[in-house]
Structure 1
Amino acid sequence: MKNQDIFGVSAALVTPFGADGSIDLGRLRRHARHLLDEGCDGVTLFGTTGEGFSIGMRERSAMIAALLDGGVAPGRIHAGVTATAVADAVDQARLALDAGARGLLLAPPFYFKGPDDDGLFRWFSQAIEGMRGDARGVILYHIPGQTAVPLSVDLVGRLKRAFPGVIAGVKDSSGDPATTKAFLAAHGELAILVGDERQLAEAMAAGAQGSICGMANLVPGLLRRLVHEGADSPAIVPLVDLVVSYPVLPAIKALVAHMHGDAGYAGTRAPLIDLGPAQSATLIAAYDAIAAPQPDRKSA
């Protein structure tokens, strides 16, 4: 049975850069349209895979406008918010919300390590209040491997009670199934999303609502069938294992370039470094061998 009444699959959209380092808005728009046509429910700009940490405010505005001008409905767009200052987080959020975006992927402040829940609650509260009455669709971003600032189950509870109807979910990119289960047990009425596609089938069976993820740039159809129909694919785990055996973001972009037959998608922005030609060729050959058409199987 298809399950349409859930968050679904949003691609953590890669950001194409031109040879001069500027954002290639044409390629961005084409890639977004391709993913939506191939099964994604939405796209998320400025996430980890999209190198949102390296994208400034004027560029963010241009990217949102490019998608809207290209016919992407604002209700299919989420925007990542990555900032340490509350004022910067509010500016990033309001830019997207004012354009009509469905919601936000809101990361915690990441410069100071080990803040307690009281401090994080204060930061998130000030950020949400700064959005005034426009705050909506806030997905709290638990990605301690990058931020080194985990979000506790209790903190999520405090925020959802303080901002009912605003806190919409949690994206768990911890890579720890026990953490996902804890979020589901305590906050199952929210959209609990999984960042590690290898754990998605198990999480969906336990009540998760989908994913915002990097692999949706490459296999949107496989992920859509898993999320909406319970049709797992034996290709997903080995594909993810392959990608994470390389520097992840450059690998995904190399594969997006391969998928489109367009090397213009492969470039990353400093401090990241692109894969070299030999690395890319080895990755692509292994990827193609795994991604050859395979029958889907129903999740247990």
Structure 2
Amino acid sequence: MNKKTIFGLSAAMVTPFGPDGAVDLKRLAGHARHVLSRGCDTVTLFGTTGEGFSIGMRDRGSMLDAVSASGVDAARIYAGVSATVVDEAVEQSLLALDHGARGLLLAPPYYFKDPDEDGLYSWFCRTIERIGASARGVILYHIPGQTAVPLSVDLVDRLKRAFPGVISGVKDSSGDWATTEAFLAAHGELSILVGDERQLARAMAKGAEGSICGLANLQPEMLRALIHDGKDDPRLEPLVNLIVSYPVLPAIKALVAHIHGDEGFVAMRPPLTDLPFSRRVELASAFEAILAGGAIRKSA
């Protein structure tokens, strides 16, 4: 019997910026090739780790062009969509899909907090309906810590029934194991993806299909071994604990800079700020100390 094809590992790509705040397309494309060569199945542009909420349409188009032109098959690219206006969500979506992207990581509208579920359902429906025949590979993005708009099990059920074959998965970045379990129990036929890497081994054992995550920028091999081969690594949890003890997005970019030996990856776009140099040195030292220890073990 053939083994089921799963979603696998996607790097929630960092976005490098130059001193003037412009996207550094050369570094972006190089890093995409780097993580794919080290074990990622796909890359996800414009996600939370990539500061997608700060990236407009012109930059999105340039980034998609640059990554594809560097030799990355567009079918190995997912695109984050973050908008409050249906028109803008549709525009972002069509831009990526028309470039050949494999699918979308579609976040809910995030300005109005705790909206009525019927209203949220209508927002998603109008967005997907207006994307039209191009709609494919839609992964619903549950990240209430950022959006303050949770996606319920029931909402996912309504959407997958309304758009069969279009809704392909849920990315759960709640960090709440009970929520992950509920998505797995109710929607196991979808690709349930885990954002908190510390829960990944437990989720994979219960039928999850992988992850879109920030750590994939740094340790693709470690995560690939867990997702595809069931090999857990005792260094994974300490690495994540280290990163979340800092401002997370600047910390990931600082470590990408450390891995490449290239300070050009450090800069954040306002309103976020760079990690100070002294803290970057401290972080890199702790990162290397964790990597120097530990042995891989087979997960249950």
TM bin (shorter chain):
over 0.9
User: Is 1:86 matched up with 2:108?
Assistant: no
Task: Work out the CA distance in 1 between the residues paired with 2:239 and 2:168.
Answer: 30
CA deviation string 1:226-282 (max 9, x = no partner): 000000000100000000000000000000000000000111100111011111111
Secondary structure of the corresponding residue to residue 140 of structure 1:
strand
Aligned partner of 2:219 in structure 1 is: 219
Aligned partner of 1:73 in structure 2 is: 73
Task: Work out the CA distance in 1 between the residues paired with 2:282 and 2:144.
Answer: 30
Could you tell me whether the CA contact under 8 Å between 1:3 and 1:229 is conserved in 2? no
CA deviation string 1:174-226 (max 9, x = no partner): 00011001001000000000000000000000000000000000000000000
Task: Work out the CA distance in 1 between the residues paired with 2:251 and 2:68.
Answer: 28
Aligned partner of 1:295 in structure 2 is: 295
CA drift of 1:292 comes to 1.9
Task: Work out the CA distance in 2 between the residues paired with 1:197 and 1:9.
Answer: 11
Which runs of 5 or more residues in structure 1 are unaligned?
none
AA in 2 matched with 1:101: A
Could you tell me whether the CA contact under 8 Å between 1:13 and 1:43 is conserved in 2? yes
Secondary structure of the corresponding residue to residue 295 of structure 2:
coil
Change (3 A) 1:4 1:223: farther
CA deviation string 1:76-120 (max 9, x = no partner): 000000000000000000000001100000000010011121001
Secondary structure of the corresponding residue to residue 23 of structure 1:
coil
AA in 1 matched with 2:85: A
User: Is 1:130 matched up with 2:136?
Assistant: no
CA RMSD in angstroms comes to: 1.0
AA in 2 matched with 1:100: G
User: Is 1:166 matched up with 2:147?
Assistant: no
CA drift of 1:4 comes to 6.5
How do residues 1-300 of structure 1 correspond to structure 2 at under 5 angstroms? 5-292=5-292, 294-300=294-300
Could you tell me whether the CA contact under 8 Å between 1:194 and 1:210 is conserved in 2? yes
Secondary structure of the corresponding residue to residue 131 of structure 1:
helix
Q: Percent sequence identity over matched residues?
A: 68
Which runs of 5 or more residues in structure 2 are unaligned?
none
AA in 1 matched with 2:274: D
Task: Work out the CA distance in 1 between the residues paired with 2:126 and 2:80.
Answer: 17
Secondary structure of the corresponding residue to residue 243 of structure 2:
helix
AA in 2 matched with 1:189: E
Change (3 A) 1:186 1:100: same
Task: Work out the CA distance in 2 between the residues paired with 1:258 and 1:37.
Answer: 18
AA in 2 matched with 1:184: L
AA in 2 matched with 1:82: S
Task: Work out the CA distance in 1 between the residues paired with 2:294 and 2:37.
Answer: 21
AA in 2 matched with 1:96: A
AA in 1 matched with 2:279: Q
AA in 1 matched with 2:267: G
Secondary structure of the corresponding residue to residue 171 of structure 1:
strand
Change (3 A) 1:204 1:283: same
CA drift of 1:155 comes to 0.2
Task: Work out the CA distance in 2 between the residues paired with 1:267 and 1:257.
Answer: 10
Change (3 A) 1:43 1:4: farther
Task: Work out the CA distance in 2 between the residues paired with 1:284 and 1:202.
Answer: 28
- Size of the aligned set, in residue pairs, is 299
